[in-house]
């Protein structure tokens, strides 16, 4: 079975541009998580969904960040406008009823 799929794997953009990260969770999983990993702050939960509904978005840094889950097999994390301090690796993870989380390979974002 395919694991969590994220795209793109790498993104380089300029400050002020819109960035959209995509995630396809494991089929059948009903919980989806977006994390950000940096050297300074480690791995931080940004937002998570249960059954496509956002449950906790308290980790979203600011209004420039938004996440959607239009259906059970797709989620996006959007940054608009992007800033250099948003440079990080963004992970998506999915689980079944909040049990073991399976992480995707991540999207490495560099904002110049």
Provide the binding-site residues for another protein, judged by CB under 8 A.
Answer: 4, 42-45, 48, 56, 91, 93, 100-106
DSSP 3-state of 102: strand
Q: Which is nearer to another protein, 50 or 73 (CB)?
A: 50
C-alpha–C-alpha distance, residues 104 and 7, integer Å: 10
Q: How far is the CB of 16 from another protein (least distance, A)?
A: 28
Q: How far is the CB of 15 from another protein (least distance, A)?
A: 25
Nearer to another protein, 54 or 81 (CB): 54
* Chain Cα centroid distance, residue 75: 8
By beta-carbon proximity to another protein, the closer residue of 71 and 100 is 100
As measured in angstroms, the least distance from the Cβ of 27 to another protein is: 18
Spatial contact of 76 and 23, defined as CB atoms under 8 Å apart: yes
Cα–Cα distance, 65 to 24 (Å, whole number): 19
């Amino acid at each position: 079975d395919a694991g969590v799929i994220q795209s793109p794997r790498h993104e380089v953009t300029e400050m002020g541009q819109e960035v959209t990260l995509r995630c396809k969770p494991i089929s059948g999983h009903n919980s989806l998580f977006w994390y950000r990993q940096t050297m300074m702050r480690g791995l931080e939960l940004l937002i998570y969904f249960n059954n496509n509904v956002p449950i906790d978005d308290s980790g979203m840094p600011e209004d420039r960040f938004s996440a959607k889950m239009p259906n059970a097999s797709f989620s996006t994390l959007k940054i608009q406008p992007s800033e250099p301090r948003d440079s990080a690796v963004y992970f998506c993870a999915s689980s079944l009823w909040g049990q073991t989380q399976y992480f995707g390979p991540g999207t490495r974002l560099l904002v110049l």
